[in-house]
Amino acid sequence: MQNKGLIKVFAILFGLVCIYQLSFTYITNNVESEAEEFAAQKIDESVENYSDLRDQAEQEYLDSIGNKDIIAGITYNAAKDKELNKGLDLKGGINVILQISVEDIIRGLANDSKDPAFNKALTEAREESVTSQDDYIDIFFEKFEAIPDAKLASPDIFANKTLSDDITYDMSNDQVKPIIRRKVDESITSAFEVLRKRIDKFGVTQPNIQRLGNSGRILVELPGAKDVNRIQNLLQSTAQLEFWHVFKNTEFGGFLTQANQVLKNVVSEEEEATEAVDTTAQTDSDIENLLADAEDSTAVKTNNPLFDLVVGPGAQGGPVLAYFNVQDTAKVNGYLAMPQVRNLLPADKRYARFVWGVPDDKTSATGLYALKSNRENEPPLSGSVITDAQQTYDQVGRVAVSMQMDGTGAKIWEEMTGYASNNQTQIAIVLDDVVYSAPGVSTGAISGGRSEITGDFSIEEGKDLANVLRAGKLPASAEIISSEIVGPSLGQEAIDSGMLSFGIALLLVLLWMIFYYGKAGAFADVALIVNILFIFGILAGLGAVLTLPGIAGIVLTIGMSVDANVLIFERIKEELAKGKSQVEAIKDGFSNALSSILDANITTGLTGFILLLLGTGPIKGFATTLLIGIATSLFTAIFITRLFIDGYGKNGKSLEFATGITKNLFKGMNNDFLAKRKVAYIISGLLIVISLGSLFTQQLNLGVDFVGGRTYTVRFDQDVSPTEVQSILEERFGNAEAKTFGPNNQLKITTNYKIEEEGTVVDEEIQKGLYESLQQYLPENLSEDEFINGSSDKTVGIMESMKVGPTIAEDIKAASFWAVLGSLIVVFLYILLRFRKWQFSLGAVVAVFHDVLIVLGVFSLLYKFMPFSLEINQAFIAAILTVIGYSLNDTVVVFDRIREYVNEHTTWKLGRTVNAALNSTLSRTLNTSLTTLVVLLAIFIFGGESIRGFMFALIIGVIVGTYSSIFIATPVMFDSVKKKSSLQDKKGEKLEEEATA
């Protein structure tokens, strides 16, 4: 191996970088453990609200040491920003419920109608919706119907130009209602998609986003999120971007002076009237108190209501009329909206629109602008023309957001900038009614549609604004009505046991490699540990979020890493058996194994790349870790293992690649696998028929992720284990998920039990089932009614319930399907390119479909009988992808050996060549499958209940994948080649010529 020194230096340096990246996670874990111990000592378990007080104490401890040096100048807060993030399933995150304003949507559909009946119904509906459980749109229709002769299809309401294709003047209210419902639902769906796109760009891996019934509420769960304020701004921003011509302050000086004079009289009259009313309503003692308060008061009565609020003038000839304190902006708005003040505006400024700029962080002052508006209050150019936006820097190095417009926008922008340049005026860039910048144009009209927003942005704020502009604007305002910190969906106990089981599995693999390959196995173990270090180090460095699908990708790459070493060692053993020296055998063994290793990893890597490109949510999480793992596995297997082996043997030391027990295992194998292919076809055919039959009749146990469900926030009088509760509820309802929601004595419980059924009967059945199932965790004297409706002091029982939509939207399902299909097409083409025969590609793809169908069939057949959940959720998608990856990997290795034997043994018939190749790879196939199964079985047995179904899918997939590479992929390839050749030679004497052509 060339450049050993360079590889050694790179490996050491890269390992140190990975350790450095993971050290932040180590520091935060240590500090948080200390915080838990501190809280446990400080708070007595017997006190009321123990969980809340303990969490508060933990946070106080973390706040107190947040900026203190922990080690080498690293603080806890700094380490927390760089730790390895974990997803909702492993760590928890932030739970937010957004209320999309249905009122805003209805106003928008009516083109902001000024119709009195329409606005009266909206106002009354808004007031009643605060206390009512009914949907806002139902209340609105009820209030509108109560108004005599009110007609929804009025030209001033919904029979407008925008809805002319759907609503005509002659429609009755009953005909219009379903159309408006559909339009509102479409707008909420649009808001749902905008939010999902924003969150995808925010950098959160595998978020949960669900619609809550038809109320306009959307549930968002963000794993690993830390900055609550940033999340609120990201989710609530409507991104209403507008471009306006703006008046100069010199054009408004006279108006402000006149306004101030008018306000003197108005304010004086109002104060006198208020004082008169107050005086007549007060007793003598009240007057005495007021007089005493007046003597103590230091307030000075204003003589200039408007000018006394000014804290600074705008630049002469600039767009800022004046600067005011932020706390005075509401008062100024009130003054400027008075009819007496608005009437002072001259005709050419009649429709002027007053807006505020971005407040100064240091002075809390903000500028007042006057936009050149119109009767319709529509801007010359809106953000709908933006096609792309990026966070950049302006000419003086400030954070900015650069935008690109479409053709229509570019034309209007050129006209606007031309006008501003010719008249030496400014253009205000307004986002959500706030002026971010109002630049002048001195270089003439700007063509091409590029523009820029500058302001006092941080880098993160600039990135978020660009993301929001790219994702699009919300069709209505969104308000966060609740936010909570949620616990891991797998449950802390499941995670702890899962980590323990992963450690046990890894230890068993390491011991097996030593047992089977002796000292060489120990070297492979070191390479495997380095590989795991590299994977987690890269994930931490990239700021990725580790989730259960990501762990599936890591499990697959560990199997591939072991597989690569097994391939190398088996080839070295073959070279040694030919009588070569140890040095030559090692050199040729690595060289000969390289082709198989590369082909297997490239096919799996292509799959991962397509999944990353086309997939979303859990697909991306799986693909990310898979691609990282493939790269690190290749490096460690080819280079790290080689360094140790070469280093050990350079002084003439003998290195055995087997132990006394395993030395002669699988030697001289001569199984006729192809003779058994018809039996295999029959067995596989039956399994596929049974699987398809079950899928069409029993179908699959679709979880909440796919079909939605009902969710309940349940509070207990003691801390409870979500894992235990989930296990109990699964026995009652089939599917259930329980996770900590806020304090440890509160759970969020979700089930899809009878989700297709509506009505109070089902609701009452589920609530009763919850009460009966959770008896052991509830106070003895708590009645069923108190549990369902809340106890007398509202501290125990169901705090909230709602119906939730699926977290996996239709477009995610479609994206997943196309991602998998695309990856199979790419793999088919790659295998065709490498093996020069479409029959090899056919065999590999048939084996993949075979494996996936059988895994789906097993889940369909057994989900009613297994003692653990076999629901189809996001984690199951990752399991299926792992099965596909494993199946391809195994099949390609076998095909690679067949190709090699065909080229070496040109006089053999194809059947003999294929059987010999299969026998020669049997040791590698069983070794790889066994080590991978050891990992999966250990996690299945010792891991938590909540991941058992996931592990079961992987176990079935590995078993079926190993079987299919020998008995399905290879026979399909062989029979398709044989069928083509039989036309020339019925006896098959020329099969070898066809195989080598």
3-state helix, strand, coil in the chain (%, to 5): 60, 15, 25
Report the sign of the C-alpha dihedral through residues 256, 257, 259, 260, in that order: positive
Residue type, position 636, single letter? T
- Residue 988, token pair as written in the block: 């098959």
Spatial CA neighbour of 917 closest among 930, 932, 904, 931? 904
DSSP 563-585: HHHHHHHHHHHHHHHTT--HHHH
Specify the 3-state DSSP secondary structure of 341.
helix
Instruction: Note the Cα 765 to chain centre separation in Å.
Output: 33
785 by Cβ neighbours in 10 Å (0-12 / 13-18 / 19+) ranks as exposed
Q: How high is the pLDDT of residue 354?
A: 93
Hey, what long-range contacts does 116-120 have (CB within 8 A, 24 or more apart)? 117/144, 117/147, 117/150, 118/144, 118/150, 118/156, 118/157, 120/147
Q: What is the largest CA-CA distance in the chain?
A: 123
Find the helix packing angle between 641-649 and 519-542, rounded to 10°.
Answer: 150
Please report the sign of the dihedral spanned by the C-alpha atoms of residue 655, residue 657, residue 660, residue 663: negative
H or E stretch at 365: strand 365-371
Residues 6+ apart with CB under 8 A from 430: 241, 242, 243, 244, 355, 371, 379, 436
With beta carbons less than 8 A apart as the criterion, state whether 34 and 61 touch.
yes
CB 894 within 8 A of CB 917: yes
Which DSSP letter does residue 778 get? S
For every residue of 924-992, DSSP letters joined together read HHHHHHHHHHHHHHHHHHHS-GGGHHHHHHHHHHHHHHHHHIIIIIHHHHHHHHHHHHTTT-TT-TTHH
Nearest to 877 by CA among 935, 826, 820, 938: 820
Find out whether 329 and 306 touch, Cβ atoms under 8 Å.
no
**Contact residues for 994 (Cβ-Cβ < 8 A; gap 6+):** 910, 977, 980, 981, 984
Residue 99: both structure tokens together? 């209320």
Three-class secondary structure assignment of 71-92: ECCEEHHHHHHHCCEECCCCCC
Mean pLDDT by 10 residues, the chain (997 residues): 78 90 88 85 72 73 82 83 72 71 84 86 84 77 88 86 81 89 80 67 58 70 60 63 88 87 75 47 39 37 79 86 90 89 88 88 86 86 79 80 84 88 86 78 78 69 67 62 56 62 80 88 90 89 71 72 84 85 87 83 79 65 79 88 82 79 76 90 94 89 73 82 81 78 77 76 85 85 78 70 60 65 80 85 90 92 81 74 79 86 84 88 83 80 71 88 90 79 40 41
Tell me how far apart the alpha carbons of residues 754 and 748 are, in angstroms, rounded to a whole number: 18
Count of residues for the chain? 997
Residue 19 is predicted with a pLDDT of 92
Specify the pTM: 0.58
Q: Which of 706, 749, 754 lies closest to 729, judged by CA?
A: 749
User: If you count DSSP H runs as helices and E runs as strands, how many of each does the chain have, helices first?
Assistant: 33, 23
Question: Half-sphere exposure (CA, 13 Å, Cβ side) for 296?
Answer: 6
Backbone angles phi, psi at 547, to 5 degrees: -130, 175
